[in-house]
Amino acid sequence: MDLVQLSKVGVSLGGKPVLRDIDFVLKPGQIMGISGLNGSGKTTLLRILSTLLRIREGSGVVLDANIDSNDVFIVRPLIGMIGHKPALIGELTLHENLLHVARLTGVEEKKVGAVLAVVGLDEASDRRADASSFGMQRRIEVAHLLLTRPRLLLLDEATSGLDSSARDLIAALTERVVGDGGGVVTVSHDQARLAESCDNTMSLTEGRLELVS
Amino acid sequence: MTRIRVLFGVAAAAMAVGLWFALTAPPDTLQGEYSRLINIHVPSLWLAFLAFGLTALGSIMWLWKQKQHWDRLASASAEIGVLFTAIGLFTGMVWGNAVWGRAWDWGDPRLTTTAVMFFVYLGYLALRNAVDDPLVKARRSSVLGAIAVVQVPLVYFSVNLFRTLHQTQSIRPDGSTMPSEMLVAMLINVAAFTILYVALMAARMDIARVEEMSREPGTLAGDAIKAPKLNEVKDV
Amino acid sequence: MSFWTQTIEIARIDLRVERRLGDTLRIVLPFAVVALLVFPLALGIELAVISRIGPAVFWALGILFGMQVALRQSVTDSQERRDLHALAGVDPAARFVGRIISGGVLMMVFLLVLFLAMVLLYGPALPEGSWSTMLISSALFSVGLAELGTLAGEVTTGLRNRTALASLIVAPLALPLVIGASQSLEALSRGTGILTWVLLMAVTDLTLAVVGVGLARPLEEATR
């Protein structure tokens, strides 16, 4: 059973078409890379895959949920995303951010300490998120996804601006999701990096997806 | 620490002496026992003026010299000033309720300007609280601290500028209008409160200094960040 | 996780953030008290009139400054934070109710302290039963304003002049709450009973709750 199936999907934002006739399939265990210029619609596509953006044309199924229906509310906890900007509550400490997610998703709170140690932030976790560096915030996002164990992982320029250890961490997370039978979609403008790390790559040009490799 | 203990010891002794004089001075014939509140009310507001004056001094000196101890002086003094303004307002309202028949008189600009002064410095403290970075905090609050002091003469001279229910200054260049025993008691309490202020300032500035030092002196912020344990990602 | 677990967690975190930032109690509340001080000075009115208008001024300032309290969380809400909650599986209705709980608690504290300040400064002649009436009115007013603030925050998500627009939306819609709250004290003074006014506020609160919970999911879709 495919993790994602999009058929002739189209979306307009601000009255202007951004994506058109998008056909996309993601299979379990697959890492798909999507490249494109800035403003080509890569983030929009990821938001559709995350079920956070409703489509205007076409149809789609993500993790067995029709993306036009309220079933998306059931599957959202199985989706993990690292977007452009870190999704954290700035006024809370890094530790409190993870505890918050654990309580919302029903994960055991004692796992928070373990994931903090794995991402190397156990001694820095009492810092406020808005007082932490971008790299630290990204690590906490990885820690978040280690807690929630998503089946579908979406990465939007996730490694931009990161040091090698943080990039390795995201690679390890990707491996884990794939190893668990899930799938990964990673978006970047860096085609070369995508070709190295992904099973297949596609290119988003003029609102349309084309297979590259 | 010993210096601060000594200061508090002296302050306690001075307050005890002030209390004795306040309780033994004969009460005012019209105001009765409520007149004794003047031994808290006036010293509290005197202390507030002193404190906010020193906040302004500390602010201006920081802007000039950029040395952290001036900022500590300014903020510690503002905190103490706000506390004693509140005490002054409260005792004033209790006294006013008993003597004028109402806690708050809108016809009295000294009362209103004192309350506004309270909120001005509450705003100063709120500004400090909103900023994390010590340098940015010092810079911004120094500017406000230097400006806010205009409230002090406005409060002090308001009773001269407007015809009000409030008593005009009891001690003027041409002599005092208070009975001598009350005046002595009040002046002793002003002195005692001033010593208390010095003790509180010493303690508060010491705490501020220790707080600054405790923010990981000598360790870099990045030292707490460790390499991730990549081989544990799969099983965590 | 259950609806109520998520709701309580959202409310808890909102209150913790507020405790860290201190906007309501350290900034908005003192600002409102300064307004209480400045109001009679600006109008230059006599003491007897000041005492009489105290409760009305209180409710007027309650709505104007209360809106800042009601809107504070919505205004600082970011797309990333909304996504965080959405992908954690938080039901939009749970988010709505959680926000109302935290907003209501803060509003209640704000109103009670402001009322105390009004009583001290304006010296109104309050009839017997004023404090319990005040508690009931404040509770209903707080819940209603928190509901309006949360709804206004949702419908203005991502818009340019969000703060001003949300305030404009809340102010007129809060009229039943202001009328109910101020008239309940008036009714007490006249001895005519407060039930009508309490019911007005309660019905307003209930209507807003039903609308908010019912429209939470469609509203979340519309703001993406």
* ipTM value: 0.89
CA-based nearest residue in chain A for residue B132: A131
Q: Which of A71, A79, A85, A100 to mutate to test the interface with C (most CBs of C within 10 A)?
A: A100
Q: Across the interface, do A179 and B225 touch by the CB < 8 Å criterion?
A: no
Contact C33 B103 (CB under 8 A): no
Chains that touch C (3 or more CB pairs under 8 A): A, B
Task: Place B220 in a pLDDT band, splitting at 50, 70 and 90.
Answer: low
pLDDT class of B219 with cuts at 50, 70, 90 = low
B218 to chain C, closest Cα gap in Å: 27
For testing contact with chain C, the best of B104, B108, B131, B132 (most C CBs within 10 A)? B104
Beta strands in C48-170 (DSSP E): none
For residues A9-19, average pLDDT: 81
The whole-number average pLDDT for the span B137-150 is 89
Residue C45's pLDDT is 66
pLDDT-derived band at A195, boundaries 50, 70, 90: confident
User: Looking at the predicted structure, is the pLDDT value of residue B165 above 70?
Assistant: no
Give the residue-averaged pLDDT of A137-142. Answer: 94
Q: Which one of C21, C80, C87 has the shortest CB-CB distance to A80?
A: C87
| Cα distances (angstroms) measured from residue A160 to each of A186, B181, C130 | 12, 77, 61
Better pLDDT: B52 or C48 = B52
CB A104 to CB C90 under 8 A? Answer: yes
DSSP A62-117: ETTEETTSTTHHHHGGGEEEE-SS----TTSBHHHHHHHHHHHHT--TTHHHHHHH
Closest alpha carbon within chain C to B102 = C123
Separation of alpha carbons B63 and B60, rounded Å = 5
Write down which chains contact chain B via at least 3 CB pairs under 8 A: A, C
pLDDT digits (tens, 9 = 90+) for C42-77: 777 677 788 888 888 999 999 989 888 888 877 677
**Gap between the Cα atoms of B67 and B61, Å rounded:** 8
- Closest residue on chain B to A173 (Cα): B233
B177: which 2 tokens?
């209008």
Which residues on chain B are in Cβ contact (under 8 Å) with A111? 236
Of residues B178 and A2, more confidently modeled: A2
Which residue is listed with tokens 């949360």? C150
| Mutation for testing the C interface, residue in A63, A104, A134, A141 having most C CBs under 10 Å | A104
Evaluate whether C178 touches C204 at the Cβ level (below 8 Å).
no
- Closest residue in B to C47 (Cα) is B106
Query: B136 to chain A, minimum CA–CA distance in Å?
Result: 14
Chain A residues with beta carbon closer than 8 angstroms to that of B230: 168-169, 172
Lowest mean pLDDT among A121-135, A158-172, B94-108: B94-108
Of A47, A91, A105, Cβ closest to residue C21: A91
DSSP string, A111-143: HHHHHHHHTT-TTTTTSBGGGS-HHHHHHHHHH
Q: Which pLDDT score is estimated for C1?
A: 77
- pLDDT for C118 equals 93
Query: Is C36 in contact with B106 (CB distance < 8 Å)?
Result: no
Which residues on C lie below 8 Å from B126 (Cβ)?
22, 26-27, 30
- Give yes or no for residue B227 having a pLDDT over 70: yes
Q: Which of C20, C83, C88 sits opposite A104 (nearest CB)?
A: C88
* Count of A-C CB contacts under 8 Å: 70
- Average pLDDT of the segment spanning A80-89: 92
Angle at C173 (CA atoms; ends C28, C69), nearest 5 degrees: 15
Query: Which residue type is seen at C79?
Result: Q
Q: Which of B 114-133 lie inside 8 A of C, CB atoms?
A: 115-116, 119, 122-123, 126, 129-130
Q: Which domains are present in chain B? A: 2-169+178-210 (1.20.120)
Confidence of residue B168 (pLDDT cuts 50, 70, 90): low
Q: Predicted confidence band at A209 (pLDDT cuts at 50, 70, 90)? A: confident
Name the β-bridge partners of A208.
A205
- pLDDT computed for residue A143 by the predictor: 95
Buried b (16+ CB within 10 A) or exposed e, B11-42: beebbeebbebbeebeebeeeeebbbbbbbbb
Strands (E), chain B: 171-172, 175-176
Band (pLDDT 50/70/90 cuts) for residue B163 is low
Paired sense of beta strands A200-205 and A208-211, if any: antiparallel
Q: Is A55 on the interface with C (CB under 8 A)?
A: no
Name the most confidently modeled range: B43-52, B213-222, C71-80: B43-52
Confidence of residue B177 (pLDDT cuts 50, 70, 90): low
The nearest CA of chain C is from the CA of B130 a distance in Å of: 7
Min CA distance, C171 vs chain A (Å)? 29
Mean pLDDT of the region B156-178:
59
Confidence of residue B175 (pLDDT cuts 50, 70, 90): low
What chain B residue is nearest to C43 in terms of C-alpha separation? B106
Tell me if A118 and B233 make a contact (CB, 8 A cut-off).
yes
Chain B residues inside the 8 Å CB shell of C50 = 106
Mean pLDDT on B134-147: 89
Q: DSSP secondary-structure letter at B174? A: T
pTM of the model: 0.81
Q: Is the pLDDT of residue A213 over 90?
A: no
Judged against a pLDDT cut of 60, whether residue B169 lies above it is answered with no
φ, ψ dihedrals at B67, nearest 5°: -100, 135
Q: Which residues of chain C have pLDDT under 50?
A: none
CB distance A107 to A149 below 8 Å? no
pLDDT of residue C170: 85
| Interchain CB distance below 8 Å, A172 and B226 | no
Tens digit of each residue's pLDDT (9 = 90 or more) over A90-116: 999 999 999 999 999 999 999 999 999
Q: Under an 8 A CB cutoff, do A136 and B225 touch?
A: yes
Mutate to test the interface with B, among A93, A116, A119 (most CBs of B within 10 A): A119
Band of residue B54 on the pLDDT scale cut at 50, 70, 90: very high
Instruction: Find where tokens 């000594």 sit.
Output: B6
Whole-angstrom CA distances from B130 to B30, B78, B140 are 48, 16, 11
- Residue B62: Cβ within 10 Å count: 24
Domain locations in chain C?
3-222
Per-residue pLDDT, A176: 94
Instruction: Identify which of A117, A166, A176 has the shortest CB distance to residue B229.
Output: A117
- Nearest chain C Cα distance for residue A199, angstroms: 26
Q: Do B104 and C122 touch (CB under 8 A)?
A: yes
Asked if B165 reaches chain C (Cβ–Cβ under 8 Å), the answer is no
Mutation target among C7, C8, C17, C84 for the A interface, most CBs of A within 10 A: C84
Q: Distance (Å) from the C-alpha of residue B65 to the closest C-alpha of chain A?
A: 28
Nearest Cα of chain B lies from the Cα of A174 at a distance, in angstroms, of: 10
Please give the Cα distance from B149 to C159 (Å, whole number). Answer: 40
Query: Does A3 have pLDDT greater than 80?
Result: yes
